[in-house]
Structure 1
């Protein structure tokens, strides 16, 4: 399934062209990518939605000179990348340009990068990053199976803190009795959520985030998915599949300027 997800990236890569140019200088915020207005690493461009919680641009992980297209928290002092486009295809030159060969795209306030067809109807997406997560689940992101298309969204760990390539751990929905999510190390199941009880996953008794977020589980003709939504949109909280093989909920504490782990798989 991880390989299938990567193939989906390759199939959609015709929508994006990455060109190599000179060196990184400074940041310029824009809100939409078009053919005539790309994200230019040479100019330090970043794509920022109206609420400014997220930013899209080029970045280098810790202790690496490779460049990646990614989305990160714009208002968190510790650079925290939540999505990477070219995970296993790093750019080794020092700068790049990101453009589209369709009508355009937009980074939503939720952190979802969407491609749309036509300038009139921007409600219909031809592609969206929320359908192809990296190692992070964000609020309002559907996690699970789209029954109509067969897309089963898989979250995969980074290879290491300095390499966002597809790592050894992954989490996805499987139908074993009742639908539930499994954490894999390679092909081996190492942890599961247990079935949905109506309030929480049976295998996560400590799951009690009702004061922080609301979790919705849907199983109908279209989807088998979970979505969590924050009660307070100014609080940043995410779920991450880590390189060490855990699935953690992390919440940003501005006073301490660090991410605190509240719930994990181990």
Structure 2
């Protein structure tokens, strides 16, 4: 992240935590009032324990939701596929939340010398929690997607824009990895690095070794890939952000979250503007 992104991230995190704290206090105090109005005896400590363990459970699940939003949100993924993945993730998120919440409550009650029972007076406590979890899940996932979109809108130092990706590239790339031959969709290749008399292609989370020079692979892949270092190519469309230091060297962050160093010599090819003289 550059300085502007870090500041924005701090503001978004503070706002999120403020809203979360406000909602938590409101829920706990409302539940205390509801119990009192219904003539049911329940201690404030128990009710606050329920709320805090529920919130903590969601915070434990939040990194997974953040990763999901970064990996599958539109336009990176077709919105129909993204929606299907989001809906499929709801039961998993709910299970993880409930498991974390129950575990924390058992620990909290044991610390008070008491025993916690999840069911309580509810006929189906899991269905009850799932209905509540659905709304919270969508809020957390939506917040992650919007926050990431805002962070990507923050300009790099000097107002640099990533150079647009040229339209033409081969659909498949043939990789000779030892005695095996692979046909790799070019769109899945994130970056390519030199390794002696070979190159390593990083695609879909796997690394394939191909006997060729980096210059030869660069010509084959076409201008949808850009050289950021004498030993490294990256796919233009996979670049999320660029951060330049005072020397003119830069750091490229890819959609996968991986950060790769780039040389000042190649920066103008990536950001689409001349390198300032020193």
Query: Which range, TM-score by smaller chain?
Result: under 0.3
TM-score, normalised to structure 2's length?
0.24
Pick the structure with more strand per residue. 1
TM-score, normalised to structure 1's length?
0.24
Q: Which has the larger radius of gyration?
A: 2
Pick the structure with more helix per residue. 2
